[in-house]
Amino acid sequence: MFCISSQNQQIIDSFTQVLKSHIAVATAKFPQGTSGNTIDALARQQLWQFGKEYKHGTGHGVGCFLNVHEGPCSISNRNASVPLAENMITSIEPGYYVENQYGIRIENLAYICQDNNPNFPNPMLKFEPLTLVPIDKRLINKYLLTKQELLWLNEYHQTVFRHLNQVLPAEMQSWLSEACAPI
């Protein structure tokens, strides 16, 4: 563990704010026909609350021909008017950067699928994570997260553990258990 200096606290708080942006997109429920511009604003709003911004898209399509940055979908504030649709794969990757000091990006791939919530009057879409890697809890200021964000993080880590524990060698399972333990 590293010493918590004011610089380190700034990094931890920035990481947590980027995590809030990531969670805002990862938990979004949206109607068919919603463009990437709309989803992009959900991520950026979390950083705008702290006077922060990033100068890249929040996500891009991933496919079988170009592999990354494959259209037509994009989650961006620039030319992302193509509606997000079921069965698309996209990245979710908000970030924050301080020139010559540090940069943060939390990036996962996600699959767009039906929400299938019987309580909703209209069909909705949502993101399901494809990338299953623990998020480093040493960089999280849990006091900046809402109860819902903490719940998402703990559920995400449960999903990671459930899928990876069975395929990891025994010597790595204790690390995974600690990395995925609830906050």
pLDDT digits (tens, 9 = 90+) for 75-128: 988 876 789 999 999 999 999 999 999 999 999 999 999 998 888 888 999 999
Residues 6+ apart with CB under 8 A from 4: 12
Contact 127, 141 (CB under 8 A): no
Q: b/e string for 42-52 if b means 16 or more Cβ within 10 A?
A: bbbebbeeeeb
Cα 13 to Cα 141: distance, rounded to the nearest angstrom: 6
Taking only the tens place, the pLDDT of each residue in 139-151 is 999 999 999 999 9
pLDDT at 71: 72
pLDDT tops 90 at residue 66: no
pLDDT at 70: 72
Top pLDDT among 71 and 54 is at 54
Contact 60, 75 (CB under 8 A): yes
Q: Is the pTM of this model over 0.75?
A: yes
pLDDT tops 60 at residue 1: no
Maximum pairwise Cα distance, the chain: 51
CB atoms within 10 A of CB 2: 9
